[in-house]
């Protein structure tokens, strides 16, 4: 097992490049992170009817997510127990059962083996189909329209896993009485480690004023750009983080500015009846939309790009991104949100191209031995950590530019990689928080 304790220096805010390149570390991540964490599997709008299914992944394991006849959702490994072929090769659809195209083994909607060709003549009497059902995802839980799963039966509930991050996540996904629906989907592959994308929505707002300056100029041409992009030398905002590596940040305070939120949705929400609905559901202080990440890779952006990143080895990741809209919004508002996402955070989007180039170059540079040994620096901690400050639960910093959430993410990563159980992990996470309280990490 790889020893990463010398590669992740939380106290001094330093990471060695091997955590983004080493094959042995990556294999350990599949075991310690991806088999243990909660991962977003689907949204209700993706599988609305009985028998609806889609293929997704937990880590690199292909998973079938299926709406059952009773309306519940189940998941199972998309691997036939006979010779390991995918049980289903279709990305999504509606079915009554699934039949492997290799030798014809058939499974029901819950993954139970229901038919084996020539069982009566070619197999012994002791062969029992019930012994060879597909491997089930043992824990699946529902949260405000989304279904999450984990391979670890000892994991805490998803609500406990979210912790204080629920307050911030709800500010995105629980705003409207009618809920949300997905109206577009894109997926693409990028040549970089999956943790680069996880880190950015968790913590890094500062890159936007450098990386995205050209795109912001184009998008704001002809509008009141000062309200959305001119933030001065000390931008107002806040960054938050919670125990299991979740984090996010936003510009502005209490609705003063929502720069990552498209103009159509801002206009829609400014209508008195919609504003009153949001205030009733969330309160007056819940304008926290910028971007966030629920560890490991469930990401939400303020213009309603929602995505999951699937690891594909240490040097590659596959991005699955959906456009979500308020289900009860007028069609022209939904279409405007879709078009805004299309030109910003899709494979052809301006912001996405900026980010992809950074991550690709970072991964390429790490081919060098000196570059891997030099590693990365996380010392933007001038704003002290505050705990449960005002209306903001968990840890937060009253400065939108901070590495505190990234440091917390990598501290959680280190704890996961060095723990053999959830019990041990929870103990380490509690000790880490005690080490940070009260606000004692000023630069």
Residue 92 CB-density burial (10 A; 0-12 exposed, 13-18 middle, 19+ buried) = middle
Which residues does 11 contact at the CB level (< 8 Å), separation at least 6?
none
CA pair distance 287, 358, nearest whole angstrom: 29
Q: What is the dihedral of CA 253, 352, 166, 389, to 10 degrees?
A: -30
Query: What domains lie within the chain, and their CATH numbers?
Result: 8-33+164-436 (3.90.380.10), 39-142 (2.102.10.10)
Lowest-confidence region among 63-72, 144-153, 197-206: 197-206
* Per-residue confidence band for 256, with pLDDT thresholds at 50, 70 and 90: very low
For residue 440, pLDDT beyond 60:
no
CA distance 250 to 259: 9
Residue 252's closest CA among 222, 224, 220, 286?
A: 286
Mean pLDDT of 298-304: 92
* pLDDT number for residue 344: 87
User: How far, rounded to the nearest angstrom, does the alpha carbon of residue 230 sit from its chain's CA centroid?
Assistant: 29
Alpha-carbon distance 336 to 177, whole Å? 20
Nearest to 344 by CA among 246, 262, 254, 426: 262
For 375-391, the three-class secondary structure string (H helix, E strand, C coil) is CEECCCCCCCEEEEECC
Quick: pLDDT tens for 23-49.
Answer: 999 999 999 999 999 999 999 999 999
pLDDT of residue 431: 86
Q: DSSP class of residue 32? A: I
- Reduced to 3 states (helix: H, G, I; strand: E, B; else coil), residue 45 is helix
Most confident of 95-104, 237-246, 300-309, 433-442: 95-104
Q: Residue 213: pLDDT above 80?
A: no
Asked whether the predicted pLDDT for residue 408 surpasses 80, the reply is yes
Which of these ranges, 110-114, 204-208, 212-216, 244-248, has the smallest mean pLDDT? 212-216
* 15, 98, 354, 393, 407 from 379: Cα distances, Å: 11, 52, 24, 23, 9
Structure tokens at 278: 């949001």
**Residue 259: pLDDT above 90?**
no
Local confidence band at 289 (pLDDT 50, 70, 90 cut-offs): confident
pLDDT confidence of 267, banded at 50, 70, 90?
Answer: confident
The residue-averaged pLDDT of 275-294 equals 86
Per DSSP, the three-state class of 324 is strand
Instruction: Render pLDDT for 48-69 as a digit per residue (tens, 0 to 9).
Output: 999 999 999 999 999 999 999 9
Which residue would you say has higher pLDDT here, 157 or 211? 157
Expressed in angstroms, the distance from the first to the final Cα of the chain is 34
pLDDT at residue 236, rounded to an integer: 78
Question: d(Cα 310, Cα 165) in Å, to the nearest integer?
Answer: 21
Question: CA 142, CA 65: separation in Å to the nearest integer?
Answer: 13
**pTM score, whole prediction:** 0.93
Alpha-carbon distance of 218 to 222, in angstroms, equals 9
pLDDT beyond 50 at 218: yes
Measuring CA to CA, which residue among 260, 348, 335, 271 is closest to residue 304?
260
3-state SS track over 361-424: HHHHHCCCHHHHHHCEECCCCCCCEEEEECCEEEEEECCCCCCHHHHHHHHHHHHHHCCCCHHH
């Amino acid at each position: 097992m790889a020893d990463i304790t010398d590669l992740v220096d939380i106290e001094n805010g330093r990471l060695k490049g091997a955590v983004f390149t080493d094959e042995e570390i990556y294999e350990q991540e599949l075991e310690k992170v991806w088999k243990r964490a909660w991962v977003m599997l689907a949204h209700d709008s993706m599988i609305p009817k009985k028998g609806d299914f889609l293929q997704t992944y937990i880590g690199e394991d292909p998973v079938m997510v299926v709406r059952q006849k009773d309306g519940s959702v189940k998941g199972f490994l998309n691997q036939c127990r006979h010779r390991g072929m995918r049980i289903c090769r279709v990305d999504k659809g509606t079915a009554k059962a699934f039949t492997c195209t290799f030798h014809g083994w058939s499974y029901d909607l819950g993954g139970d083996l229901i038919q084996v060709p020539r069982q009566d003549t070619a197999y012994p009497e002791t062969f029992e189909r019930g012994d060879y059902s597909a491997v089930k995802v043992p824990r699946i839980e529902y949260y405000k329209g989304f279904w999450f799963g984990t391979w670890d039966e000892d994991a805490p509930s998803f609500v406990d896993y979210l912790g204080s991050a629920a307050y911030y996540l709800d500010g995105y996904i629980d705003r409207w009485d009618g809920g949300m629906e997905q109206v577009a989907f894109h997926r693409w592959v990028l040549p970089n480690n999956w943790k680069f994308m996880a880190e950015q929505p968790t913590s890094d707002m500062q890159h936007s004023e450098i990386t995205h300056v050209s795109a912001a100029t184009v998008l704001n041409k002809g509008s009141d750009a000062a309200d959305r992009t001119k933030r001065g030398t000390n931008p107002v905002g806040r960054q938050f983080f919670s125990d299991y590596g979740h984090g996010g940040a936003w510009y502005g305070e209490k609705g003063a500015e929502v720069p990552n939120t498209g103009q159509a949705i801002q206009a829609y929400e400014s209508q008195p009846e919609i504003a009153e609905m949001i205030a009733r559901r969330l309160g007056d202080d819940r304008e926290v939309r910028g971007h966030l990440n629920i560890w490991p890779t469930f990401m939400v952006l303020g213009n309603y790009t929602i995505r999951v990143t699937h690891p594909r080895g240490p040097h590659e990741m596959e991005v699955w991104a959906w456009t979500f809209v308020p289900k009860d919004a007028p069609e022209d508002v939904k279409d405007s949100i879709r078009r805004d996402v299309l030109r910003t955070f899709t494979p052809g989007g301006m912001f996405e191209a900026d980010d992809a180039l950074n991550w690709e170059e970072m991964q390429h540079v790490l081919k060098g031995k000196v570059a891997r040994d030099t590693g990365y620096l996380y010392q933007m901690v001038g704003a002290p950590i505050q705990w449960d400050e005002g209306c903001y639960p968990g840890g937060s910093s009253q400065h939108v530019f901070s590495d505190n959430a990234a440091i917390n993410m990598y501290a959680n990563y280190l704890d996961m990689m060095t723990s053999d159980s959830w019990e041990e992990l929870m103990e380490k996470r509690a000790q880490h928080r005690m080490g940070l309280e009260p606000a004692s990490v000023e630069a």
